[in-house]
A and B are shown apart, each in its own frame.
Chain A
Amino acid sequence: FSPVSLGLQARLRPLPLILATGGGYVGYDQYGRYRDRELEKLGIEVEPRVANEAQVGLYKTIPTRLLSRAWGRLNQVELPTWLRKPVYSLYIWTFGVNMQEAAVEDLHHYRNLGEFFRRKLKPQARPVCDSHCVISPADGKILHFGRVRNCEVEQVKGVTYSLETFLGPHTWAESLVDATRNEDDASSFQDLLVTKEGNELFHCVVYLAPGDYHCFHSPTDWTVAHRRHFPGSLMSVNPGVARWIKELFCHNERVVLSGEWTHGFFSLTAVGATNVGSIRIYFDKELRTNAPRYSKGSYNDFSYISNNNREGVAMRKGEHLGEFNLG
């Protein structure tokens, strides 16, 4: 009964309670997911189980930006030549990377994992489709696509986020949209974006897995007029989390490029995640993402339209546009 053991016992006493409560909660949650899967197998549509405010708040307390920057620092450390092959081979095996398509297949060429992650592809590895007006800007998995309705965009089936929260206020378009269309004409934010009669607003979400090629390209012929950078969280954006956290893409750090294509408004948004917190746009040297400090809910605008360039940055379909970087 020494004071030390009494103190230790006092500290250990809540542990079983915490474990039992946590275990019970996880068990209940897993049973619910199991039941949903069984119902889906029977063809019964099941509402996705979306996290509540408390769960999102709890998730957001995880210092994802700090972890992301630490992960980035770690992957800038130059690896000794003898260690490169085993480290990159483990990454290749874990994430199913296809090195035959890489422009440089020799693993010793990459000084660190950050460089390996930014690897380019052989030019002929990805022929750009000529017969369609919109192509995929990156390798990945199609999470969701379709028409935008009632200013809500689906990140995955059944889980939506607000178009206006995602893009921010419609101030970037003063220079794009002709003066005749003013704000009160449009019945909603969505109508503000659609500049031509008879058009609709469409969206497509491409998820890039850790083993995918992480550069992205121009999805069509368009001119980029404006960039809006939203600093934010760096929660994971894998499909499981996208099914669980509503408005996930509005919480995370992201860079919105907007402009015009032949049919009117066009935008591409790169959304960061825990392991890939940094976003680079090749023609935008000013952009700095995943900075240590930022004020919540803030964003910063940058226009590519200047006195001697009234159009913005012209991008051809398939042209190199940017990349995600570790950390």
Chain B
Amino acid sequence: STIVLLFEAPRDFAFNLKAGQKIRYGEPLGSM
């Protein structure tokens, strides 16, 4: 199964992720 987040945010929003990395619920995806 998959979860897709789609949201608007200010232009300076940045993800701190790498494609393919493992992630756990509660860990940060990104911030302004």
Let me know if A203 and B28 touch, CB within 8 A.
no
Contact of B8 among A201, A271, A276 (CB under 8 A): A201
Let me know if B25 and A135 touch, CB within 8 A.
yes
List residues of chain A with CB within 8 A of the CB of B30: 132, 134, 145, 202, 204
State the CA gap A144–B14 with chains docked (Å): 14
Let me know if B2 and A271 touch, CB within 8 A.
yes
A216 and B3 contact, Cβ closer than 8 Å, known pairs A133-B31, A134-B31: yes
Contact of B3 among A140, A167, A196, A202 (CB under 8 A): A140
Let me know if A140 and B27 touch, CB within 8 A.
no
Would you give the shortest CB distance from B26 to chain A, in whole angstroms? 4
Interface pick from A12-20, A38-46, A205-213, A306-314:
A205-213
A residues 214-235 touching B (CB-CB < 8 Å): 214-217, 219-220
State the CA gap A144–B10 with chains docked (Å): 20
The number of residues on chain B lying at the interface, defined by a beta carbon within 8 Å of a beta carbon of chain A, is 29
Interface of B is mostly: strand
Contact of B5 among A132, A141, A203 (CB under 8 A): A203
State the CA gap A238–B26 with chains docked (Å): 22
Let me know if B7 and A201 touch, CB within 8 A.
yes
Contact of B23 among A139, A157, A195, A276 (CB under 8 A): A139
Determine which residue in B2, B4, B21, B23 has the highest number of CB atoms from chain A within 10 A of its CB, and name it: B2
State the CA gap A145–B30 with chains docked (Å): 10
- B1-18 CB mask vs A (1 if < 8 Å, else 0) is 111111111110101011
State the CA gap A261–B25 with chains docked (Å): 19
State the CA gap A166–B4 with chains docked (Å): 10
Let me know if A271 and B3 touch, CB within 8 A.
yes
Q: List the interface of chain B (C-beta within 8 A of A).
A: 1-11, 13, 15, 17-32
- Sorted from nearest, which 8 A-B pairs have the closest CB atoms? A132-B28, A126-B26, A128-B26, A271-B2, A266-B7, A264-B8, A269-B4, A132-B31
